[in-house]
Structure 1
């Protein structure tokens, strides 16, 4: 078994493609009209074709349930937030926040009200804590993770 992608249903595929390209910087891998595969493991499917695939009426397809999200990590979160804030068409779930473990994240909706989270790359969270003077053990405690998680993450940077 191999995971391939997350497919989301969209009402207007052209607008959805533009949104994911402009806001998240994703690129089109393949475009078959009713189905588009983007970098990052995201696929878009038109509402009308999706209805025929699952044999359901449009009223059976729910948008904006807030029960799931598409999750991305960003190495340069501050730059991304600055760019995002300059866009006037972003519908925020919430602005930039910091979770208890120290990761900063923002959540917003795409045009079809699918929730998107963009979080700070976890290695950058670790480095931010280390750069403030915390030891590896203190960083692990602050993030509520095992010490070996911190050392493994820091080790990936060296390779």
Structure 2
């Protein structure tokens, strides 16, 4: 068994492709019209074809269910959050915040109400804490991770 990708259903393929290109910088790597694979390997499928594939009607399909997300990482999270704030089509789950372990993230909905999380990588968090003057041990304690994890991020 081999996991290969995640597929999300979209109401308007062209608008979805444009959104993912403009907001996250993702390009189509494969385009079969009703099914498009984007950079990173996740796919978009049109609502009409998806409904036919799974033999369901509109009332059986739920958007904005808040039970899963697409996760991306961005080392310059402040720049990304500023770029996001310039758009008028972004509905936030929450603005930029810092989790207890120090990772800064923003969550928002795409045009079809799938949650997208963009967070800084844990390597970036480690480096930020180290640059602020924390020791390896203090960084590990602050992030609630083993010292060996912090050390691996610095190599």
Given the two structures, how large is their TM-score scaled by the length of structure 2? 0.97
RMSD: 0.8
Kindly provide the CA deviation profile for residues 115-158 of structure 1, in whole angstroms up to 9, marking residues without a partner as x.
00000111110001001111111100000011111111222xxx
Give the deviation of 1:3 after TM superposition. Answer: 2.0
Question: How many positions carry a matched residue from both structures?
Answer: 155
Q: Counterpart of 1:53 in 2: which secondary structure?
A: helix
**Where does residue 91 of structure 2 map in the other structure?**
91
**Where does residue 57 of structure 2 map in the other structure?**
57
**Where does residue 26 of structure 1 map in the other structure?**
26
Structure 2: tracts of 5 or more residues without a match: none
Kindly provide the CA deviation profile for residues 24-48 of structure 1, in whole angstroms up to 9, marking residues without a partner as x.
1001101111000001222000011
Give the deviation of 1:79 after TM superposition. Answer: 1.1
Kindly provide the CA deviation profile for residues 41-88 of structure 1, in whole angstroms up to 9, marking residues without a partner as x.
220000111011111112111100000000001011111111111111
Q: Counterpart of 1:52 in 2: which secondary structure?
A: helix
Kindly provide the CA deviation profile for residues 67-110 of structure 1, in whole angstroms up to 9, marking residues without a partner as x.
00000010111111111111111111110000000000000000
For residues 1-159 of structure 1, the aligned pairs below 5 Å read: 1-155=1-155
